[in-house]
Chain A
């Protein structure tokens, strides 16, 4: 069974850095793209970017380019989403999801989500 398990909830202060993770299991990690999706409180889904762990090919949404960094470590089947300086507006639930073979295929399955709270 293809499964994504995300790291736990985080509470951070503005200006701090953060790296959250998404570990894949039950499939060939290097054959699936992994996307990151943001959901702000009470709002809809926003695609942030996607990475192919096989060769680290990474694409970003124009809205998130330069704001976050997406990476992957195929040796431990884990993808990451990273901020160097958090803002209060980064408070949201973040989901990872897999896309087989191509960045423009559907997302299935999704991780359970990581809640990030940024507050002074």
Chain B
């Protein structure tokens, strides 16, 4: 059972918009920023969004992130076949002397 809650799956057709939610609590998302990681099949995770809504260099602008209260979300607009991957949210949790927590991951399928 992950501390951050994500839906296990999401899907869309090419060109559609897909949104993934990430629900936490006051000790993690409610007081710290959220990062999102993309894991393509058989590869290491890669930073996709940091500090709630910032994109690292090289990440297409069709990926966007937001945070409100104790929840966050990742949106993929103009879905492409290469976006088929697992997506994880993560946040620092201030409890127990501080530690990172991840969501359980959302598998995005491009139909």
Contacts and interface: CB of A to CB of B under 8 A. Distances in A.
Contact of A95 (B45, B50, B100): B45
A45 B2 CA distance: 9
A3 B41 CA distance: 21
B75 interface: no
A38 B44 CA distance: 11
Main secondary structure of the interface of B (DSSP, over half): strand
Contacts of B32: 104
Contacts, number: 64
Interface string A89-119: 0000001010000011111111111000000
Interface residues of B, number: 26
A108 B50 contact: yes
- Interface size classification for chain A: 20 to 34
A50 B44 CA distance: 18
Given A46-B102, A103-B98, A111 B44 contact: yes
A47 interface: yes
Given A107-B35, A108-B56, A35 B100 contact: yes
Contacts of B86: 44
A35 B47 CA distance: 14
Given A44-B104, A50-B100, A108-B46, 7 more contacts: A44-B86, A44-B102, A45-B105, A107-B35, A109-B46, A110-B44, A110-B45
